[in-house]
Amino acid sequence: SQTIHQWPATLVQPVGSPLSLECTVEGTSNPNLYWYRQAAGRGLQLLFYSVGIGQISSEVPQNLSASRPQDRQFILSSKKLLLSDSGFYLCAWSPGPGQGPEKLFFGSGTQLSVL
Amino acid sequence: SQKIEQNSEALNIQEGKTATLTCNYTNYSPAYLQWYRQDPGRGPVFLLLIRENEKEKRKERLKVTFDTTLKQSLFHITASQPADSATYLCALGETGNQFYFGTGTSLTVIP
């Protein structure tokens, strides 16, 4: 069966420090991968999605970036965090074309606090 | 601008009643619409998908309707239970690979 791992679960970082959040998926190949951010009490904002290795689409211009160095690995990064980067970050995957129904499977999330 | 709005931030209902949640959207052309459940501090969990050519979908105590003319989906939980208390999110999928989420409705079922 497919599983998604996301870490760390919580992170406290000072303003101006770098960020690296990692997400890996097991049990499937060529998944679509996503990073979402959720502010307190709000809906999910799509940040990045990827349909293949090295293919990244950005939805919101900001100081975050994403990379997909391997088929089932998705990394969210920042060189210098801002206070406004605080939030609940969720990685998700969906089956690739023709591999299954269109739905998202989410990781357990990372609660990021920038102080 | 594009918007996905859910009817209210919080909804309280009595156990055993039917909960009805609303999802309205503007400036999207979704190929399908989904509903997810999210518990505090957890990632959302997929519940139901309904396509643009479908009017209604059911799964156990859950029912979803989709009206592309009104640009609205209704999500019903019949015979609600305290365990149904959670935040419910609607999401739109267009012909690409993006999924866009609504603001969410927090449902509390009172025993």
Hey, is the C-beta of A108 within 8 angstroms of any chain B C-beta? yes
In A, which residues are within 8 Å of B4 by CB distance?
A: 43
Closest CA to A78 of A48, A101, A99, A54: A48
- The residue type found at B107 is L
With a cut of 70, say whether residue A61 has pLDDT above it: no
* Percent of chain A residues topping a pLDDT of 70: 98
Residue B39's CATH number: 2.60.40.10
- Nearest CA to B36 out of A90, A106, A95 is that of A106
Residue A7 forms contact with B (CB below 8 Å): no
Q: How far apart are CA B17 and CA B47, in angstroms?
A: 20
Q: pLDDT: is A39 or B58 the higher one?
A: B58
Asked if A63 contacts A82 with a C-beta cutoff of 8 angstroms, the reply is yes
A56 has a chain B CB within 8 A of its CB = no
Q: Give percent of chain A above pLDDT 90.
A: 77
The partner residues of B107 in beta bridges, in order of sequence, read B11, B86
Angstrom distance (rounded) from CA A82 to CA A95 = 33
Distances in whole angstroms, Cα of residue B65 to Cα of each of B32, B35, B83: 11, 11, 23
The range of the structural domain enclosing residue B75 comes to: 3-110
Give the pLDDT confidence of A14-29 residue by residue, as tens digits. Answer: 999 999 999 999 999 8
In angstroms, the CA B103 to CA B82 distance is: 22
Quote the pLDDT of residue A99: 73
- Mean pLDDT, to the nearest integer, of A61-83? 93
Name the domain count of chain B: 1
Would you call A51 exposed, middle or buried from its count of C-beta atoms within 10 A (0-12, 13-18, 19+)?
A: middle
Residue A41 in tokens: 């009490």
Q: Residue A21 is part of a domain; what is its CATH number?
A: 2.60.40.10
Q: Does B101 touch chain A (CB under 8 A)?
A: yes
Looking at per-residue pLDDT, the higher value among A36 and B7 belongs to A36
> Residue A102's pLDDT is what?
82
Residue A31 pLDDT > 90 = yes
Q: Domain span at residue A69?
A: 3-114
Question: What is the rounded distance in angstroms from the CA atom of residue B50 to the CA atom of residue B27?
Answer: 19
Q: Chain B: nearest CA to A82, how far in angstroms?
A: 22
Query: What's the structural domain count of chain A?
Result: 1
| pLDDT value, residue A62 | 79
Region A85-99 average pLDDT = 90
Average pLDDT, chain A: 92
pLDDT of residue B28: 86
Q: Consecutive 10-residue runs of chain B (111 residues): their mean pLDDT? A: 83 96 91 94 94 93 95 96 96 83 94 95
At residue A91 the predicted structure's pLDDT band, cuts being 50, 70 and 90, is: very high
- The runs of H, that is alpha helices, within B1-111 are none
